[in-house]
Structure 1
Amino acid sequence: MANKCFVRCCSKRHPDILLPNNESLMLGRGPQTKIKEKRCSREQVQLWANYSKFIVQLKQIGPNPAVVNGKEFVKGDIGELEHEETVELLPGEFKYKIIFDPKPPKDKSSPLRDPIKRKMTTEVKTPLKVSKTQSSLFDVDYDITALEGSHGFRWEKVQNGDIYVMTSESCAGKSKIAAFDMDGTIITTQSGRVFAKDVNDWRILYPEVPGKLKSLHLDGYKIVIITNQRGIAIGRVKLDDFKVKVQRIAQKLNVPLQLFCCSGDGGMFRKPRIGVWNLLKARMNDNISINQESSFYCGDAAGRLASWMSGKKKDFSCSDRLFALNLEVAFHTPEEFFLGQKPTKKYNLPEFDPKSVDPKAPLLEPKSTELTSETQEVILLVGVQGSGKSFLAETIYEPAGYVVASNDRSGGRDKTLKILAQALDAGQSVVVDNTHGERDTRQKFVEVAQKRGVPVRCFLMKASAQQARHNNLFRELIGSDHAMIKEPLFHAFKTCFGASSKAMLPSVIDDDLCGCSLAHGTLPRTRLKRRLQRHCESELCAQVSKSRRRETLSHVSSREMSIIMK
């Protein structure tokens, strides 16, 4: 029987991916495989390993074919792979090899066989279970490299420098974790500046800090410091200088501790995202399980308002408070923990909280509205960038036979208008996937349909700018091929859409002729199933429903629309 089974990338783009015994794993486009080619689905093939038989069963899930041992698989095909046999996620691209450890005995080799079982004619006997480790957005196979350290300190680099870990010589794993931010919590600048001017510009924040940490250590806590250090990523801070600085801080505190430096400019390790905590649990706590109820996190980025205490400025963000919320551990500010001050209620959390989105809300309002039509039509999608328009177009309309006309795909509005006209002339229905924030831009598309007597419907994505920002950050975490949306674009849509809201659709369009309507409801995001509920950024709550995330639409007649939009 095998002890382990891996999927190995033949081009060595990323570390081996573990295939747990009798547990399903989806392989396809995403951050784990570093595949960005859109022809490769996020769930391209489904794999599950049988350690006792030294066999991996494979099912083709994606619409574009994969190649298994030289034979093309289409959607629904099922086959088997043995040790060192290969699968190409696309023909001639993204080749992977199955590796069993230890290798199977020679008598385990199967006779020549047809690797394809068509269209589920033979049921898979191995029960399918979803691996919790592989399904979690923040659980990864860690690439850890030892670095040159100094006397009394061990340094490690994780994920090619996304995070650096310093562990003092006598620091050991514990079930209780006392975690702290560094800047503004353990230390501050000696100069009084916001950012340290050099490696020596620091001092312990409060005289009480060293004593409090020593008491925690004696009470059986492991002292952990978790700090975002974007300056390393952008070159403002040299890594060697940072290492010298934190070693001096540890010596000054004189208590065993472990420090996690999140050096990336984004990604899963940067607080308030929980990747660093998962790394601690998985690889950096001596295989000792962490008791979340007994652990806590302390930081100064608490979302406190101006004058939360007399003379105090507002906090620069609420990332530390969100980090604790994501971890479901107790949270303290430095003033509360080290000085014994009472917690303040003068703080703000992000405006958008996906936990408040009702997963059972109706798909459309009114419920009688249909997303698609059997007769030819044009659908205009309206909404801010990141509100879910492209997902709606690609997963609902395109599979239903609609032509997707999009400026992002075509390269410009004139080309998109041409695609719309050609598709309508060919008798096809079209979904236009643009922001359509301005009345004039919407009117040009409506006029093309009007000239051909084709009815138009309008679906408004009711996602707020805060929710769209959340979606934008979530795309970053899941390795989406979407370009990251810059902040000015959110403001630009709000400005132009608000200015033209009195005429959502051109008044010359007759409702009875063109069937114009404004849609409203919630759209399920099935590709986000099994994602954890997390706050993604300091000022954004990036939580995702454990079952599914939903975007909001609204449905009224075009005559009523001007009232709704005010």
Structure 2
Amino acid sequence: EPKFPGTCGARRQWRLLPPEVPLRRKFPRFLRRSRAGDPDRLFPPAPRFPWKQGPPPSLVELLADYKHRAVRVTQRGVNPTSVEELQLQPGNSSTLQEGQTLWLVNGRYPYTLRFLPAPHSPRRSLLDFFSPKRHLPGEGDEGRPPKRQKAPSPPKEEEEDSAVATKLRQLQETAASAERAKGGAPRLPHGAALGLPPHPRDSWEEHGKLLVFTKEGVVPSAKVAGFDLDGTIITTKSGKVFPTSPDDWRILYPEVPQKLKQLQNEGYKIVVFTNQLGISRGRLRPEVFKAKAEAVVERLGVPVQVFVATGTGIYRKPLVGMWEYLCEKANGAVSVALQSSLYVGDAAGRPPNWAPGHKKKDFSCSDRLFALNAGLLFYTPEEFFLGWATAPYQLPPFDPRELDPQGPLYDPPDAALVSPTPELVVAVGFPAAGKSTFLKSQLVPAGYAYANRDTLGSWQKCVALVAAALRQGKSAAVDNTNPDPESRRRYIECAQDAGVPCRCFLFTATLEQAKHNNRFRDLTASGHVSVTDVVLNSYKSKFVEPSLSEGFAEILRVHFVPRFADARQEALYRQFSEG
């Protein structure tokens, strides 16, 4: 089933056809294109048949094993060939199993091996009863191979078939008994079954930074099949990463409309969730995108609901604001069943060379994280529409779900947080690492003078405030980032001049956690000034871990232990906020 460049991604199928019965071993096989008008390619079982595939030229030798439903692949030409992830060198061979992919010419031309059943197959095995491919939602009876007919076969084969059939009946009876004992699988609510009418007409709604399009005929359902738009449902006709014009798009794979139709037939509601930051930034006019979205839905041929996050905030993936809006306000009276719903997206965190011919890593992991945040089963477009195996992927290094609100506040645990005698505390850590909250809640109530550059305006004013407090016999705390010895030295000298000890409170939040904290502060209107990634990255480049040799009497490592106003705030913090 090759996919050729220059054909708008259309997949032309090449299939291995078994021989006619009863001359099982005498009729030739064919490697055939299923598109009308294309010539068949003869593919005999023996002798070996060198198959020259082009363009561009690449010579491989294929030897079919119909008994085991596999093909022996031998590299003969100079252009690289891969069987799945195994790259062959000239003269090397490997076995291509049914369902696996043969990649020609540096992965540019993928071919998936399929064996079609004969009209009268004389042999049945467990492979005829159980599909070797993982079943995905939307794989109904359409597209499945026709049932095989029983034909005369040798006595030994009949005995084997009888044993297999008996075992299969036993398995089916056991499964049926278990199902009857459970009372049968519950049927999930669907709007039509509940008497809810389909959506009467195409409509757009706007809710702040959220646009919602509902196509005529959309029906609420407990089962939701969610999809990203760009790179999942559509791609550019131009081949560029970003569209060059409003009509620079095409359906990503020919299988997409049929798959969506199958999902609809199985009672799924089809929903698209897309980030379109260009709208809020003025690079994309809302009316232009609306027209494009309507055209895409029309081309798909099924009723679809489209959610569009037009800016930053809770609606932007991977945050689940769009999903929550669907569940709470845009699905009629039907509650969504998470365990029966799914999400498909191309921003999946896949590394470079995640598959032959796919050298670039995913630009983001936001789609996979969106599914994780919402609790949905996740697939990439290749896994869902084409049946590819699960590709490797990487999650972000900071996982907000693992943060322990009962963890230790600081180390060493036996250190005194507040000194009974005057001292100076110098904070060190990323912006958004929790310095201000900690110092204001732990030290300021104990009488410490508080110096903060954001409040006072300069480090010179901070030094002056600290010096004045120490002269008065008070303790003081400096709430600045202080990434390097130079920025810390000026305060250490103040303490030395006043004859008091100087301690360092090193806040251990990482760059990734600081970025997450900063986004959380923006979402909750905490009153903090938003910090750009440029500032955070600048701190990291300047950071030198403090040491006692600088003049500190003690270094306390302070951990970020969050405190939340309510359960909803905690749930928001524990979501991945950036892909």
Interval containing the TM-score (normalised by the shorter chain): 0.5 to 0.7
Displacement, 1:361? 3.0
Do 2:405 and 2:563's aligned partners in 1 also have CA atoms closer than 8 Å? Answer: no
Identity of aligned residues (%): 43
Do 1:439 and 1:505's aligned partners in 2 also have CA atoms closer than 8 Å? Answer: no
Report the equivalent of 2:287.
240
Q: Confirm whether residue 400 of structure 1 aligns to residue 446 of structure 2.
A: yes
Report the equivalent of 1:75.
none
Deviation string 1:130-177 (CA, Å, 9 cap, x unpaired) is: xxxxxxxxxxxxxxxxxxxx9941100012xx0100001111211110
Report the equivalent of 1:427.
473
Do 2:424 and 2:475's aligned partners in 1 also have CA atoms closer than 8 Å? Answer: yes
Report the equivalent of 1:525.
562
CA distance in 1, matches of 2:265, 2:226: 15
Displacement, 1:370? 2.0
For 1:19-58, what aligned pairs fall within 5 Å after superposition?
none
For 1:187-226, what aligned pairs fall within 5 Å after superposition?
187-226=234-273
Q: Confirm whether residue 387 of structure 1 aligns to residue 409 of structure 2.
A: no
For 1:80-479, what aligned pairs fall within 5 Å after superposition?
152-159=201-208, 162-264=209-311, 266-312=312-358, 313-344=360-391, 346-479=392-525
CA distance in 1, matches of 2:454, 2:548: 22
Gaps of 5+ in 2: 1-198
Deviation string 1:515-555 (CA, Å, 9 cap, x unpaired) is: x111125353224552105434333xxxxxxxxxxxxxxxx
Do 1:182 and 1:225's aligned partners in 2 also have CA atoms closer than 8 Å? Answer: yes
Equivalent of 1:497 in 543, 560, 567: 543
Letter aligned with residue 531 of structure 2? I
Displacement, 1:196? 1.1
Task: Tell me the TM-score normalised to structure 1 length.
Answer: 0.64
2:319 is paired with a residue of what secondary structure?
A: coil
Query: How many residues are matched?
Result: 377
CA distance in 1, matches of 2:419, 2:252: 64
CA distance in 1, matches of 2:482, 2:337: 50
Report the equivalent of 1:108.
none
Do 2:210 and 2:307's aligned partners in 1 also have CA atoms closer than 8 Å? Answer: yes
Displacement, 1:506? 5.1
CA distance in 2, matches of 1:288, 1:171: 13
More deviation, 319-328/467-476: 467-476
Report the equivalent of 1:117.
none
Q: Confirm whether residue 538 of structure 1 aligns to residue 538 of structure 2.
A: no
1:331 is paired with a residue of what secondary structure?
A: strand
1:520 is paired with a residue of what secondary structure?
A: strand
Displacement, 1:489? 2.2
2:214 is paired with a residue of what secondary structure?
A: strand
CA distance in 1, matches of 2:239, 2:578: 23
Deviation string 1:44-79 (CA, Å, 9 cap, x unpaired) is: xxxxxxxxxxxxxxxxxxxxxxxxxxxxxxxxxxxx
1:236 is paired with a residue of what secondary structure?
A: coil
Letter aligned with residue 229 of structure 2? M
Displacement, 1:487? 2.1
Cα distance 1:249–1:152, how it changes in 2: closer, same or farther (>3 A)? farther
CA distance in 2, matches of 1:366, 1:338: 53
Displacement, 1:448? 0.9
Do 2:317 and 2:370's aligned partners in 1 also have CA atoms closer than 8 Å? Answer: yes
Displacement, 1:226? 0.3
Cα distance 1:233–1:291, how it changes in 2: closer, same or farther (>3 A)? same
CA distance in 2, matches of 1:287, 1:370: 56
Cα distance 1:521–1:432, how it changes in 2: closer, same or farther (>3 A)? closer
CA distance in 2, matches of 1:224, 1:534: 25
Deviation string 1:193-231 (CA, Å, 9 cap, x unpaired) is: 111112111111100101111111111110000000011
Report the equivalent of 2:529.
483
Letter aligned with residue 535 of structure 1? Q
CA distance in 2, matches of 1:246, 1:215: 21
1:483 is paired with a residue of what secondary structure?
A: coil
2:306 is paired with a residue of what secondary structure?
A: strand
2:559 is paired with a residue of what secondary structure?
A: strand
CA distance in 2, matches of 1:233, 1:219: 37
* Higher Cα radius of gyration: 2
CA distance in 2, matches of 1:341, 1:168: 30
Higher-RCO chain (CA-CA 8 Å, sequence separation at least 6):
1
Letter aligned with residue 350 of structure 1? P
CA distance in 2, matches of 1:523, 1:303: 27
1:471 is paired with a residue of what secondary structure?
A: helix
1:428 is paired with a residue of what secondary structure?
A: coil
Letter aligned with residue 411 of structure 1? G
1:524 is paired with a residue of what secondary structure?
A: coil
Task: Tell me the TM-score normalised to structure 2 length.
Answer: 0.63
Letter aligned with residue 492 of structure 1? S
CA distance in 2, matches of 1:308, 1:468: 30
CA distance in 2, matches of 1:219, 1:538: 33
Cα distance 1:156–1:443, how it changes in 2: closer, same or farther (>3 A)? same
Gaps of 5+ in 1: 1-149, 540-566
CA RMSD of aligned residues (A): 1.8
CA distance in 2, matches of 1:167, 1:534: 30
Do 2:507 and 2:560's aligned partners in 1 also have CA atoms closer than 8 Å? Answer: no
CA distance in 2, matches of 1:454, 1:274: 51
Letter aligned with residue 323 of structure 1? F
More deviation, 367-376/237-246: 367-376
2:383 is paired with a residue of what secondary structure?
A: helix
Deviation string 1:226-281 (CA, Å, 9 cap, x unpaired) is: 000011111111111111111111111111110001001x1000000011111111
CA distance in 1, matches of 2:388, 2:201: 35
1:281 is paired with a residue of what secondary structure?
A: helix
1:444 is paired with a residue of what secondary structure?
A: helix
Letter aligned with residue 206 of structure 2? K
Do 2:318 and 2:577's aligned partners in 1 also have CA atoms closer than 8 Å? Answer: yes
